[in-house]
Amino acid sequence: MTDKAESVWLGRMRQPMRIITIASSMALAALVAWLIFGRLFLGTGISLKQFLSPTATPIVLVTMITGTIALVSASVYLSDRRGMIEPQPDGFFDVVSLIISRLAMILTAVIVLVMFYEVVSRYVFVKPTLWANELSLWIAGFVFLFAGLYAMQQRSHIRIYVVYDLFPRWLQKFADVLTVCLIWAFAFMLIWGGYNESRDKILRWETFGTAWDPPIPATIKPAILILAVLVAIQALSNLIADWNKMPEHHSPLDEIDASEIEIIRQSLKD
C-alpha cells in the first residue's frame, strides 16, 4: 500500500517493474563479472571490441540484451519516484522526460565505473584498455543530450525574470508562446540542416577512427536531432501545462533550496 502511495505514474505496475529491474541488474552484474574474470585470469579473449558486433559471440549478445533490459527497466522504475525538488509530472511527455533523465543518471554512474575499471586494470593488473576513454566520451555525449531534455521538463534552463515579472499575465503568456515558437524554429532548422548528414552517418555506420573504433558519429549525430525534437515537444507541453497557472514572481530567495540546505546542515552535524 505504501509502495503504491509513493508511485508517481506506474501505480500497480511499480512492484513488477521493481522485480524486473532487480533481476535483470543481478543477471547483468553476473555476466559482466564473468567477462572481466575471464579476461583478466582465464585469457578468454572477449573484449569490448566484440560488443560492437555482438551477434558474433553468444555471451556478448546475451550481455547486451540483458544490459538493455536492465537499463530500461531501471530508468522506468526510478522515474516513478519524485525527487524533493522535482515538480509533479503533468502529462505523457513529462513521464517520457523523467524516464530519460533517470537513464542519464544511471549512465553517469556507468562512466564512473568505466573509469574505475580502467584505473584498476592499468595500474593493478598492468592491462590498460583501448576503449575506456572513448566509451566514457560516447556515454557522456548522450548524458549531455538527455540532461537538456530533463532541464526543459524541470523548467531549469536559465531565464531572466527582471522584465518578465513586470509584465501583465497576458503579456507573460505571449512571451512564453514566443519562446516556444523560437525553440520550435531552432529545432526545425537543426533538422533541416542536419538530417541528410545524420542519415548518411547511419547508413555508412560512421565510426570514430580509433583502435576500438566505436560508431560515435553514427549514433550521436542522429541523437542530437531526436533530442532537439523531444526538447521542442517538452517546451510545448510545459506551455500547455502552465497556461492557466497563477503568475509567479521571482526574487533572489527563490534560488535558495531549503531542503538542500537542511541536508547540508545535517551532514555537517554528523
**pLDDT tens, position by position, 26-81:** 999 999 998 888 877 776 667 778 888 888 888 999 999 999 999 999 999 999 99
* Predicted confidence (pLDDT) per residue in 170-211, tens digit: 999 999 999 999 999 999 999 999 999 999 999 999 999 998
Predicted confidence (pLDDT) at residue 2 exceeds the cutoff of 50: no
Predicted confidence (pLDDT) at residue 21 exceeds the cutoff of 90: yes
pTM of the model: 0.88
Going from N- to C-terminal start, the domains of the chain cover 1-81
The rounded distance, in Å, linking the Cα atoms of 81 and 175 is: 32
Considering only residues 11 and 48, tell me which one the structure prediction assigns the higher pLDDT.
Answer: 11
| Percent of the chain's residues with pLDDT above 70 | 91
Considering only residues 174 and 259, tell me which one the structure prediction assigns the higher pLDDT.
Answer: 174
The rounded distance, in Å, linking the Cα atoms of 230 and 20 is: 27
- Position 217 scores a pLDDT of 96
Average pLDDT of the chain?
Answer: 89
* Predicted confidence (pLDDT) per residue in 133-160, tens digit: 999 999 999 999 999 999 999 998 888 8
Please name which of 196, 188, 170 lies closest in space to residue 235, comparing C-alpha atoms. 188
* Predicted confidence (pLDDT) per residue in 224-236, tens digit: 999 999 999 999 9
Please name which of 82, 92, 71 lies closest in space to residue 24, comparing C-alpha atoms. 71
Q: How far is CA 165 from CA 108, 156, 183, in A?
A: 36, 17, 21
- Position 5 scores a pLDDT of 56
Average pLDDT over residues 79-100: 91
C-alpha neighbours within 13 Å on the C-beta side of residue 9: 18
- Position 99 scores a pLDDT of 97
Q: What are phi and psi of 203, to 5 degrees?
A: -65, -40
Average pLDDT over residues 21-29: 97
Predicted confidence (pLDDT) at residue 1 exceeds the cutoff of 50: no
Beta carbons of 48 and 212 less than 8 angstroms apart? yes
